[in-house]
Structure 1
Amino acid sequence: MLKSFILFFLVIEIFLIFIFYHYYKIEEEHTRENIFLEMKNYSLFFDDDRFDIDIVQRDKKSKFYELYFDTDSLFILIPFPTDNNDLLKVFYPKKKYEALLYTIKLSILRQFLFLSFIAVLISLLFSFYVLSPLRHSLQLLEVFIKDIIHDLNTPLTSILINLKMMDAKNEEVESITSSAKTISMLHYNLNAYLKEMAFEKEKFHLKEVINEQVAFFAPMYHYLDWEVNIQDTIIKSDKNALARIIYNLLSNACKYNISKGFIKIQADKDTISISNSSYGIKNPSRIFKRFYKESDRGLGIGLHIVEKLCTELDIEKELKVTDSTVTIHLHLGKVTLK
């Protein structure tokens, strides 16, 4: 909405500036014309104390009944009927002329500010009006997604429970389990996106959380070179939320990797670093924005969930991008037990 408001307002303001600039130029010209006409009248009757007169010597360049400017005044030159050597100079002080222009500027500025205020109101109303259908559609979409999440919850939980009871060594069961976990993670991401999450802090081993996610992704992306170096650390935070952060980062690192690329995970006492080979990122500053994606794959909410959960868990993140590598550092200093 803010962008729409700014766009509408700027268009109106530019139009107003153009109009008022030309209006001022017209008023300035009218002021000079009025002074010129009043000077001519004064030369006939000499009954206006705003003007003064002087006698000046005629030269070849002198033109009669034209408005001139000098450093101190506006003036016209009038010939004497019986004198070919001298001219009557009727002049108006330049300070008074500038004072008139200043008054005109103030008047125009007041009008401009008033109409700018009207422009603000019009821009607000117009942006509300234009975005109203989109806002309504987003609300319907949000309700629809919430209904899907609610309907998925029970059968998904049932599938995962039943899979645990089956033979885990069976390849078909492993494949189904992997797919079910992927759906479960998508379910969690949608839930985290739409709802305020309730976090429960607990003590747990960082190595356990990372290894669990690596064990999930490494078989699916076996063609990538995996390097995992973890120094075990005790963390006090929401274990499930931290697991989702690592899941989303690894999911992104795997999906947007290159052929025969690598995934490198390093963790020490205060930092997790996840690096992956990459074709590069066009807009690094936008990758954590909601719905932003640089290809047709995915929903564009995974890294936004990372951003949201990191903020909630008080974990600082840092992105480093080169032409061939993407690295994200998670700084755990505030959640690591000393």
Structure 2
Amino acid sequence: MKASERESFFKSLALYFVTIEILIGFLLYHNYREDVGSLKQQLFLEMKNYNFNFEGEKFALDFVPKQTEAPLLELREDGQTLYALFPLPANQRYLLKIYYPKADFKTQTGALLGRYLLFMLLLSAVVGAMAFGFARYTLRPLRSALALTDRFIKDIIHDLNTPVSAILINTSMLNREDKAVRRIEKSAKLIGMLYRNLQEYQGGLPQQRDTFRLDSLVAERLAFFQDLYPALTFRTALAPTTMRANPDALTRIVDNLLSNACKYNVKEGEVSLALSERTFSITNTAAAPIRSPRNLFDRFYKESERGIGIGLHIVKKLCDEERIAIAVTQRENRVTFTCTLPAGQTER
């Protein structure tokens, strides 16, 4: 099950389950309160009968001074008992108090509450099973849509590879000094980057690991972007660094971060790259501050109409696979992406 499917499944499950549970809980609580009221009513009726015959040991009685404000023939409670006051026909100074220990009444209501909780637990199990089935059922349209999208992307990947390769091969045989030829070549390379991003989105990058010079890889990819964005100023401080990792993954990370830094820069802005010890960072002057840094690596999240919103998501995905910690910070008009390389995989 894919991440989007899991998210949809658990949200549907939680929504259905919680909604029904709240409804059931409200109804059971209402019934519980009514049953407690019925217990009190039954207790009062038994007190009235006891007032006539004094049979049984369930209740205790006492005589209390009569007070004008004392309510008669009504079940009341104090700190220790539930009681009712009854008049004495031959005595105008005292009232008969019949009472029942509150601890015993709490035992009764506790047993009643236990039955309701057990019933609630059984209902919750039934509702949980229904919610699971409901969530699985609602997941079908999403799975169909995702399967259709995956097939569409796979078809695009397959159809992109051949024409892009043909364009690059043929432009290499033309006059490289011709501006039109260079523009065609640049556009073909950008399409090639999109192709590789889509390939990674589908999980199609090779997984082999190798030892390579990370500073040389960064310099090579930087040369490509310098050619694409001649108006930008690029500054570098790349210390010689050897790394053991997936070179294709690191290429995608560097490409997408550089592409992001160039596309969302200001006119005649700057891009600075730094590589030292276990830290690689890219800083660019920003056309606008990042509105939601926490969502920046989410799939399909975009802060403008440009792009398709998978570049930084792929960066985060590949960084997680390579155990690289990535963070974004912004200060004044500059944005910095910092990659902390895993210990034991780099050397100077």
Same fold, TM-score > 0.5, yes or no:
yes
Aligned residue-pair number: 338
Matches of 2:88 and 2:156, distance apart in 1: 98
Of 216-225 and 94-103, the range deviating more from structure 2:
216-225
CA shift, 1:40, in A, is 0.7
1:280 aligns with 2:289: yes
Residues 325 and 14 (structure 1 numbering): CA distance in 2 closer, same or farther, change over 3 Å? farther
Q: Which residue of 2 aligns with 1:303?
A: 312
Q: Which residue of 2 aligns with 1:154?
A: 162
* Residue type of the alignment partner of 1:316: A
TM-score w.r.t. the length of structure 1 is: 0.92
Residues 114 and 324 (structure 1 numbering): CA distance in 2 closer, same or farther, change over 3 Å? farther
Of 225-234 and 134-143, the range deviating more from structure 2:
225-234
* Residue type of the alignment partner of 1:132: R
Quick check: 2:206–2:248 contact (8 Å CA) kept in 1?
no
1:69 aligns with 2:77: yes
Of 16-25 and 90-99, the range deviating more from structure 2:
16-25
Quick check: 2:277–2:347 contact (8 Å CA) kept in 1?
no
Quick check: 1:235–1:336 contact (8 Å CA) kept in 2?
yes
Q: 1:324 aligns with which of 299, 309, 333?
A: 333
Q: Which residue of 1 aligns with 2:273?
A: 265
1:337 aligns with 2:333: no
Q: Identify unmatched segments of 5+ residues in structure 1.
A: none
* Residue type of the alignment partner of 1:58: K
Residues 275 and 117 (structure 1 numbering): CA distance in 2 closer, same or farther, change over 3 Å? same
Q: Which residue of 2 aligns with 1:256?
A: 264
Q: Which residue of 1 aligns with 2:5?
A: none
Q: Which residue of 1 aligns with 2:146?
A: 138
Matches of 1:22 and 1:262, distance apart in 2: 67
Matches of 1:60 and 1:26, distance apart in 2: 31
State the identity as a percent: 38
Q: 1:115 aligns with which of 94, 114, 123?
A: 123
Matches of 2:346 and 2:307, distance apart in 1: 32
Q: Which residue of 2 aligns with 1:223?
A: 231
The runs of 4+ residues in structure 1 deviating greater than 6 Å are none
CA shift, 1:276, in A, is 1.4
CA RMSD of aligned residues (A): 2.0
CA shift, 1:304, in A, is 1.4
Q: 2:212 aligns with which of 204, 210, 215?
A: 204
CA shift, 1:39, in A, is 0.8
Q: 1:46 aligns with which of 34, 47, 54?
A: 54
CA shift, 1:260, in A, is 4.1
Matches of 2:63 and 2:244, distance apart in 1: 96
Matches of 1:311 and 1:196, distance apart in 2: 16
Matches of 2:88 and 2:167, distance apart in 1: 112
TM-score w.r.t. the length of structure 2 is: 0.90
Residues 18 and 195 (structure 1 numbering): CA distance in 2 closer, same or farther, change over 3 Å? same
What pairs up with 1:91-102 in 2 under 5 angstroms? 91-102=99-110
CA shift, 1:323, in A, is 5.0
* Residue type of the alignment partner of 1:123: A
CA shift, 1:228, in A, is 2.0
* Residue type of the alignment partner of 1:306: V
Quick check: 2:327–2:337 contact (8 Å CA) kept in 1?
yes
Q: Identify unmatched segments of 5+ residues in structure 2.
A: 1-7
